Amino acid sequence: MTQIATIVGGGVIGGGWAARFLLNGWDVRVFDPDPEAERKIGEVLDNARRSLPGLSDTALPPEGKLSFHETMSEAVQGATWIQESVPERIELKQKVYQTLQEHAPKDAILGSSTSGFKPSELQNCASRPEQIVVTHPFNPVYLMPLVELVATEKNAPETVERAAEILSSVGMFPLKVRKEIDAHIADRFLEAVWREALWLVKDGIATTEEIDESIRMAFGIRWAQMGLFETYRIAGGEAGMKHFMAQFGPALKWPWTKLMDVPEFTDELVDLIADQSDAQSGHLSIRELERIRDDNCVGMMRALKANNWGAGEVLNKHDERLIAQSDLPRAMSDIASLDELVVTGRRAVPADWLDYNGHMNEACYGTAFSEATDRLMEIIGCTKEYIATGGSYFTGETHIRYLDETHLGQVVEIRTRVLKGEGKKMQLWHEMYEGDRLLATGEHFLLHVSLETRRPSEPSQEIMDNLAALASAHAKLPASEGVGRYVGQPR
């Protein structure tokens, strides 16, 4: 039976909650007096439908049913979970809870998205305080896994555990906060950074852009995969957290920050943090932690490269410089001789291209050959500027042969010959080498297409002439073994 989640307050956070539950198969009922609520949530859902499924390597369950209701009493009927996301005014929230609890099922969990109030404040004056917990998410709620789960002694342990199970079931990470405190855990960190950033801007030390760059180009990436303490554990080297604390602890008394209310740096504090750090990460050596950190950072920054964003934009610009400095051709004029295959790629195999067998995943050969095709297109004149005018090549057929294993860090080179270059048709042959060792081949058939009509079309005269020149020269070379093979044909 499909479960029901009720969303009270359909703003940015409420809309994110609606998307999180809906796309994980729950029926969602929304109450929000804003006449624009349906449009706003619909737009959030459009973004969620575009991005959330990409986090999973398996299909999400069938989407639930979304409905909008004119009264809270109607919206909460049959609800298993009720998420309150109204504005941060305690009197408003308490009033909402009074109405909700008059009509909601007594066994429903009532979670609040509040970023600042303690659950005891929310439970005050409630007819069933044991039903109310803080479940503070982070935007975008449909993507970010963290939700701070804060309870009081009035909440039965079974209720807290059931809340955690439900949140986990929709792909979230419920962090159970040990003691209630204003702003919980994460927002207290954000507030400290925010206050210091305001001072840096006010005092003319940095601009908003410079502050953002300092985060996203360095410790923001590190924190994203290891957090604060594990990052600093590595900074202590083989001596670990105690060494880091001894080395940098005295800085707490230095006037580095406007936030000078810091705990006294005592041996007891050092031991407490060092012991907790040992329990957290002591089963891994520093070298192991470093390798895990490095693999995670590479994976995240490569994802940023795909969107040409933040550190990814920096890496893409660096790649452009490296290519410009290399002997890889970018245009026909860069090809010293047409009487040999064209080098269209040279790169090291990254960690995220490996599979469970410890060698390059079969799909990544396709990625490497696709990048080589893009380079050949650029060489013959099908550049980004040309594509912007409305013409490009679409791949119609591919045949890849896997001839030898390819491993992490190996520098592979792709050499390309043009088998056919006639009018709309282009047929390419890629060979992937490590040194003189042939690793794989790829045969690809492409058609030139109008991006306006999405139908085959003639390329520019320049492209046709360049393709014809390469095809004619390459036809004089010795035949490449494997051209035209069918799948399963004996070598």
For 10-46, the pLDDT digits (tens) are 999 999 999 999 999 999 999 999 999 999 999 999 9
* Residue 42 annotated as part of some ligand binding site: no
Q: Is the pTM of this model over 0.85?
A: no
* Residue 381 annotated as part of some ligand binding site: no
* Residue 13 annotated as part of some ligand binding site: yes
pLDDT in tens, 165-208: 999 999 999 999 999 999 999 999 888 888 888 888 888 888 88
Residues in the chain: 491
Kindly state the helix (H) or strand (E) to which residue 422 belongs, with its residue range. strand 411-422
* Residue 9 annotated as part of some ligand binding site: yes
Least confident of 16-30, 89-103, 281-295, 450-464: 281-295
Query: Would you place residue 129 in the very low, low, confident or very high pLDDT band (cuts 50, 70, 90)?
Result: very high
Query: Would you place residue 487 in the very low, low, confident or very high pLDDT band (cuts 50, 70, 90)?
Result: confident
Q: Which CATH class is domain 328-474?
A: alpha beta
CA distance 410 to 312: 22
CA distance 212 to 197: 9
pLDDT of residue 477: 95
pLDDT of residue 191: 86
- Right CATH number for 4-176 from 3.30.70.1400, 3.90.190.20, 3.90.1570.10, 3.40.50.720? 3.40.50.720
pLDDT in tens, 272-284: 878 888 888 889 8
pLDDT of residue 333: 94
- Contact yes or no for 416/426 (Cβ under 8 A): no
**Mean pLDDT confidence for 434-438:** 96
pLDDT in tens, 81-91: 999 999 999 99
156: left (phi over 0), alpha (psi -120 to 50) or beta: beta
Share of residues in the chain with pLDDT > 70 (%): 98
Confidence check: pLDDT of 262 > 70: no
Burial class (CB in 10 A: 0-12, 13-18, 19+), 473: middle
Tokens 């209630």: give the residue: 180
- Contact yes or no for 200/189 (Cβ under 8 A): no
Least confident of 93-102, 158-167, 204-213, 436-445: 204-213
> Domain spans of the chain?
4-176, 328-474
- Token pair for 216: 């996203």
Query: Would you place residue 388 in the very low, low, confident or very high pLDDT band (cuts 50, 70, 90)?
Result: very high
Alpha helices in 227-382 (DSSP H): 229-235, 240-248, 267-281, 286-306, 311-325, 362-380
pLDDT of residue 488: 84
Confidence check: pLDDT of 261 > 70: no
What is the CA 395 to chain-centroid distance, rounded? 27
Task: Indicate the average pLDDT of the chain.
Answer: 91
- Contact yes or no for 312/298 (Cβ under 8 A): no
CA distance 23 to 21: 6
Task: Look at residues 229, 54, 66 and name the one whose alpha carbon lies nearest to residue 140.
Answer: 54
CA distance 349 to 406: 8
